[in-house]
Chains A and B, each alone.
Chain A
Amino acid sequence: MEKTKKVPELQTTLQLLESERQPFIIGIRHHSPACAYMVERILEEYHPQHILLELPVFFRKWLPFLNDKDIQAPVALAGGEENRLFSFYPLADFSPELVAIRWALRNNVAIEPCDCFVERSPVENDSYVIRNDYVLHHLLDQFSCKDFSSLWDSVVETDSGDPWKIRRNALRLGWALRVDSFLDESIDRSDLIRETFMRQQLQKYPQQQKVVVIVGAFHAAALLRQPLLWQETTGKICEDTTTSLIPYSFDLLDSRSGYPAGIRDPLWRQGVWETLRNSGCIEDTMAKVLTQICQAIRDEDHCAGTPDAIEILRMAKDLSSLRSLKTIGRGEFLEAIETCLTQGEIYGRGQIVARALQKALVGEQRGFLHKRVPRSGLYANIEQNLQILKLPSLPQLEKQPKQLVLDPLRSSLDYKRHVFFERLHYVGIQLVEKQTTQQISVSSPLTSKWSIAWNPVVEAQIHTYAINGANITQVCEGVLRQRQQDANNEVYCLEFACHCILPQSARKILCKLYETPQKLHVNHQVLIILEKIRSGLIPGFEQSDLGEKTYEKYVQHFYERLLASLEGIGSKPEDLAVMKEVVQYQIRNSYESLYLEEILQRFSRCESYMIRGISHVALVLLQQQTVADFAHCLCSLLREAQYIEMAKKLCDFLQGGIYLADELFALQHDWLSDFFDEIEVMDDAQFLQRLPFLRQGFLPLSRTSRHEVLSWLKERYDEDLNIVHSTRNTPQWVEQDLYARQRLCELGFEMPTHHEVTTRNKKHIKKTTREQQISPQDRCSLIFGYAPRHSGFASQVACCLDELYGSQSGSPTESGFPTIREWKEELQKFFQQQICDEVLAQSAMQGRIAAISEINPQQVTASIDLLEQVLSLKGAASEKQLQHLRKLANRIIDELTQELSQKIRPAFTGLSTPKPTMRNTGKIHLKKTLNANLNNAYYDAKNRLHIVPNKIYFQNKVKKSLGWRIVLVVDISGSMERSVIHSAITASILARLPALSVNFVAFNTEVIDFSERVQDPLDLLFHVSIGGGTLIAKGLNYARNLIEKPAQTIVVLISDFAEGGAVSHLLHEVDALKNTGCHLLGLAAIDNSGQPCYETAIAEQVVSAGMPVAALTPLELSRWIAKKVSK
């Protein structure tokens, strides 16, 4: 095309457009109150014989129903085919089209639609860029507007109350748009085809008649007798289709609801329309709206009142006049509200103001159809679908429900049925019910099973959902959009979109998920869904539906996110599952990720030994570590396991490793030989000390792997006795070596002293003096739970342990112990007291509650683990046992408290008293100053005493050492057990300090205040029952009400930050708390291995909302509090 295009001049064109009478053209914009007002006034003045509307002709039959009596706006005209809604016209009172229709019906003037539907070219015009050389660009500059909408607002909506002037301005902007799109590429083909069609319709009317055509301002120039920037174009048009009239509502009409053809703030526009129509004053309308907004904000316990409203009105007025507008525009109004009400807090007040605006500007007004108006849409569509899919009709279904098993991947009919059913199912129309099939394998089943039944409830449901569209696809999309509004619902929505084959929505949801950081499990679930799509488990939803290129991108992105949130992982089963998934994923897809390795390296040194185990094994699998490294690590753990804490860690380590890769343990024999070398050289006492933990550690090993290991071990001992023998010789060799070394030293060689070597070897020497009663083979059998070959000592031990862990060899070695006491006595023969307690507690955990009563409260070694186990039994214990439990718990708590308080107390000593200072604090310390300057006093001539001060003292701010309040807000949802114990004990210690008062607020989805029990942690812990969901916002809200003196209040939130409600609420609560001025601290939960575990994505948002989050031990927490208090 030639470079310079000739464009007719603006002024002449405008004149032409205005003066044209064949036809009389009114250029409008949909849903514009000013245009609606203008249309009504001009029609009144011009009084035409015919009105033509820019509305597809297939809506013709609905026009008579659009009068005042049969409908109540908003309503919507919908037209479309089976799976697609292509023509959708919401109509509100302030829509110029509806105003014209109503006027025509009132005045008996013929009104006709004159448009058709043309498929648009597939390029999505979302990113409409206004280039520098555009006419619009000049206009935007002139009115200093950002986009077309605000330009329209300032040029058309707020310029004038004169209808003719409004018309002129609207035509002007329409023309500018047309010129720009002409200059850009030439006008869209579909627009030209539609304009051709409209011109043809116009031809039908004789020249002498007064015809008004109401079209979008953009099209105006094409309808002139000598059209401008237009050329005749033909193409495929659609003149007929299925149509329906449905009631609509304001909250759907708002463009932010995601519905097509929406407009911002419909209720506000309704107000403007009524003001214009009744020639009222816009400021009155605004004042009314403002009172509503302030009221809504006050309802949420935030202050906003008349002074604010006055300031907003003044500001909106001044802004409008600064921008040379005739009346106050919506944009200025909103800007003024933001400036005066949100106080710069986007999370806190911003959210509340936004909610208030939603109420006052968007509204919830619903449309209504009178009974006379024909029913349409969904009901008919469902009937039709049943017929097409060869299913029984509705009356038949009412008599006889039907069961169906579908195989969507094989038959195309079944596929269509499946999609139809899935859609009904997800929308919530209970015409069909999905039968969950028994899952045999891990993967999802390929067939789906349904039962279909009809009853009046279903009919009611259909009518409820009809508001969302005219057929099941539209309804599906609509319902999906509504459900998307709920927070934390994205994964469900994604599933919804995929299963209902709504690729566009699925793409949108994915994009949304893509843009904002998500919780660990959300990322994980999204990856699972993506994986399902890839493997074709969602019938009909192809990988390419997400865009061929982007699928990989999404997978990689969510995978990266998942990795990023691994940081806060704990040893909960779900977390471990994620970890496993990640590693397997990495191996399967061999993505380049240095990051995972970095994390694993870090985890392999972390607190939780279960995670350590997993990380080590993962590193081996990813070939970042050799099996020998792993074996080395394991062996050193085994050596250290002489203390019970370390033995427990060894157990965790083994369990973690086995959880990740069972087969590695069975098939890699290298590490096994090292490991068992180590076990063989121990003496019986050392071995027995470790045995229960080893047994437990290997418990998750699968049966096949176990056999594999055992057979390897048998081979080792039967055929290669030499090695066993030689191992037994080692100590002697070592002794000789040491002797040689000593000789060398004596001869004057400098030998590096190696403490570790000597001490270890001394053990070996000692060992030679004592016989090993349990043979190496039997040791293996004991570890893996098989019957030992030699009876006697070993089999007695095996018998003891089988009581707890069950025997692997099928039949028990001997009959079990008749009573717990006997078992205990037997245990005590072999194991130390501490290990006995541990085993008994384990047994109690597994259901033998009586076992706990055998633990002697006086002798027990206090540990958080034991306390945790004791506490978890309280629900199952009988009254008598409970008494024992209490005794036991009390003793443990006492011991722990004493230990901790010795550490904590010093942090709180030494709060100083105020002293006069030379630093200028503003308040002079008169007494001290006078005293200090008395030597400079003199009498003047009038005998008046004067003082020349050269040292001035000021009062120091008084230290507020008393009256601090600590509010511990503790999450008691599942997986928080250990943190609750820690916080209860810490709370009780803090409560006994004179300077502090402590509140203990526990929450899951409910809030309970335990502040009165805080002095007695035992009582407190016995009353808390762990479990349930998490609503942090609720807990914080309660805490906010406890605050009396914000400056002296510390709110400590202890949680895993897996917020179950909307994150925005949580952030708002955090912000509100911060705004009270109190001190905030968020503590990450500590899982039972001491590893902080929390949702990093949410925690980060909480941090940016103003609450620092840290993982602190009780001692560190106390130091932090002490620092705050003594500041």
Chain B
Amino acid sequence: MGKQTQRQAIETLYKKELDFLKVWDKGPRPKGWQITPRAAVKFILGGEKLSLKKGTKAPAKIPKNLQITRKFVGNTSLVERCVVTLAGERGLILVGEPGTAKSMLSELLAAAISNNSALTVQGTAGTIEEHFRYSWNYSLLLAEGYSIKALTPSVVLQGMRQGAVVRIEEITRCLPEVQDALISILSERRLVVPEIEDSTGNSLIEYAQQGFNVIATANLRDKGVSEMSAALKRRFNFENVHPIADQQQEADLIRSQATTYLANEQLTFELDDVLLDALVTCFRDLRSGVTEEGWSVERPTAIMSTAEAVSIACSLSRKQSYFSSAKDIVRDLPGYIKGVVVKDEPKDEDKILRYWDGPVLERTKRNERIWEQLYELRDELS
């Protein structure tokens, strides 16, 4: 087998859809955008089959009708607001609990608007101002002094030059003084390089081209984040991305995501609906603090995100595939859930036990085999 890319960029993966949408809506679009805002919303949310208006001149390769895939499960108006924000003067920040597909949404937006989702800065405690501004090729710098040649542009500067959307992941993990480097870029839309003089003796100025904007993602409920300054906040519009509201949708999402991941490993998704449903139910109960039946549950400190559920589903399925002798994968479920719950706070061990003694025990009375099985596995938790 030849080498294969693990994960392709969005714009490569959905090139066909993007090309189609470019022709589908010929209306006015913000300067520097690849497709119109309406088409961008359609690209992300997908759903219906779109067809070109009659009489549209289209290159031969582009089909007349195309089913756009649903790439993001969530609120329509949220996506609309995101797109509208990016068309304006301010950057966009997606906030929410980990695992709510913020990064995916930002990737989709960047791919739709700039046809380039690669311009990304990953925010960490080690991120420095140079990652947002520019840096130097030090060997050249020491050898020849300041010059355009010795200047290494940051990803942000590249985005400014290209007029493309730049993504900053986990902006709140950067130190506040580093974050603040973005203020002048966002408000003045230019970057001054005082070290280099142009022909008139003034400092070199790099101007942002039309189409440049910033999408940042941030976790507000996580450990080790630094607060953003008020000045920076005012340069952004904030959108809260919430966990998926509908149980069925969440289950579907987990199934489809897990299937995709497993397909990369040439595996198939092995979990049956009953088990998947139980997994989703446990996650939703512990996340929201109240069960569907209205029983109260103590919420653990750890975040019960959909992404975690996907990884559990994958692990279970992998086990089924590789160890086919291990018939009963249900046996592992409580252990995995506990693993997620105690991740942040070991004390929460009690909470999951209490969840088992309360709602899970109560559900065994409904004569559903899966809950009876899960309750029998209570010992796995202690």
Q: Which residues of A contact B (CB under 8 A)?
A: 144, 146, 303, 307-308, 311, 314-315, 318-319, 322-323, 335-336, 339-340, 342-346, 515, 557, 560-561, 564, 594-595, 598, 920-922, 924, 929, 933, 946-949, 952, 1047, 1074-1077, 1104
Contacts and interface: CB of A to CB of B under 8 A. Distances in A.
Contacts of B80: 319, 322-323
B342 to A, nearest CB: 17
Contacts of B296: 557, 560-561
Interface in B23-60: 37-38, 41
Contacts of A344: 93, 95, 218, 220, 238-240
B239 A1077 contact: no
A695 B103 CA distance: 68
Nearest to B75: A146
- Please indicate which of the listed interface residues B139, B176, B227, B237 has the most CB atoms of chain A within 10 Å of its own CB: B237
Interface stretch (B81-89, B198-206, B364-372): B81-89
Interface in B218-250: 218, 220-221, 226-227, 229-230, 233-234, 236-240
A921 B128 contact: yes
Contacts of A922: 128-130, 135
Given A1075-B230, A1104-B221, A949 B237 contact: no
B234 A322 contact: no
6 contacts: A322-B37, A322-B38, A323-B80, A343-B236, A1075-B227, A1077-B176
Interface of A is mostly: helix
A815 B208 CA distance: 97
Given A303-B230, A318-B87, A319-B81, A311 B142 contact: no
- Please indicate which of the listed interface residues B41, B88, B135 has the most CB atoms of chain A within 10 Å of its own CB: B88
Contacts of B130: 922
Nearest to B141: A924
Given A335-B77, A515-B290, A1047-B176, 9 more contacts: A303-B230, A307-B234, A311-B88, A311-B89, A322-B83, A344-B95, A344-B239, A949-B138, A1077-B227
A1074 B227 contact: yes
B130 to A, nearest CB: 5
Interface residues of B, number: 46
B85 A339 contact: yes
Contact of B142 (A308, A515, A561, A929): A929
Nearest to A312: B237
Contacts of A946: 143
Given A318-B87, A1075-B227, A303 B135 contact: no
B147 interface: no
Interface in B120-154: 128-130, 135-136, 138-139, 142-143
B178 to A, nearest CB: 9
Contacts of B90: 311, 340
3 pairs of A and B residues whose beta carbons are closest in the complex: A344-B238, A344-B95, A922-B128
Contact of A339 (B135, B136, B139, B237): B237
B138 A315 contact: no
B76 interface: yes
A118 B296 CA distance: 39
A335 B136 CA distance: 43
Nearest to A323: B80
A956 to B, nearest CB: 12
A318 B227 contact: no
A335 B135 contact: no
Nearest to A947: B142
- Please indicate which of the listed interface residues B129, B220, B236, B239 has the most CB atoms of chain A within 10 Å of its own CB: B220
Interface in B237-272: 237-240
Given A307-B234, A594-B357, A322 B41 contact: yes
B334 to A, nearest CB: 17
A515 B288 CA distance: 11
Nearest to B187: A307
A1075 B238 CA distance: 15
Interface string B286-298: 0000100000101
Contact of A315 (B226, B233, B237, B238): B237
B15 interface: no
Given A318-B84, A1075-B230, A1077-B227, A949 B142 contact: yes
Nearest to A346: B240
B70 interface: no
A335 B138 contact: no
Contacts of A920: 128
- Please indicate which of the listed interface residues A307, A339, A346, A1075 has the most CB atoms of chain B within 10 Å of its own CB: A339
A696 to B, nearest CB: 36
Contact of B88 (A303, A318, A323, A560): A318
B343 interface: no
Contacts of B229: 1077
A345 B240 CA distance: 9
- Please indicate which of the listed interface residues A343, A345, A515, A924 has the most CB atoms of chain B within 10 Å of its own CB: A343
A1074 B228 CA distance: 10
Contacts of A1104: 221
A346 B357 CA distance: 33
A311 B229 CA distance: 19
A323 B240 CA distance: 20
A1075 B298 CA distance: 28
A745 B359 CA distance: 60
Contacts of A594: 357
B64 interface: no
A346 B226 CA distance: 18
B227 A343 contact: no
Contacts of A340: 90, 237
- Please indicate which of the listed interface residues B37, B84, B95 has the most CB atoms of chain A within 10 Å of its own CB: B84
A714 B288 CA distance: 61
A315 B85 contact: yes
Contacts of A949: 138-139, 142
A595 to B, nearest CB: 6
A927 to B, nearest CB: 13
Nearest to A302: B230
B16 interface: no
B317 to A, nearest CB: 31
A921 B177 CA distance: 13
Contacts of B41: 322
A144 B221 CA distance: 31
Contacts of B240: 344, 346
Contacts of A1047: 176
Given A144-B76, A346-B240, A1077-B176, A315 B139 contact: no
Contacts of B221: 1104
Interface string B336-366: 0000000000000010001001000000000
Contacts of A952: 138
Contact of B237 (A311, A598, A1074, A1076): A311
B298 A564 contact: yes
Contact of A345 (B88, B176, B220): B220
Contact of A303 (B143, B234, B298): B234
Nearest to A598: B350
A1077 B234 contact: no
Contacts of B234: 303, 307-308
A318 B77 CA distance: 13
Contacts of A335: 77, 81
Nearest to B128: A922
A1110 to B, nearest CB: 12
Nearest to B225: A1106
A634 B50 CA distance: 80
A1077 B226 contact: yes
A129 to B, nearest CB: 13
A28 B101 CA distance: 42
- Please indicate which of the listed interface residues B77, B233, B296, B350 has the most CB atoms of chain A within 10 Å of its own CB: B77
A363 to B, nearest CB: 26
Nearest to A316: B84
Given A322-B41, A561-B296, A1077-B229, A339 B88 contact: no
Contacts of A564: 298
Nearest to A919: B126
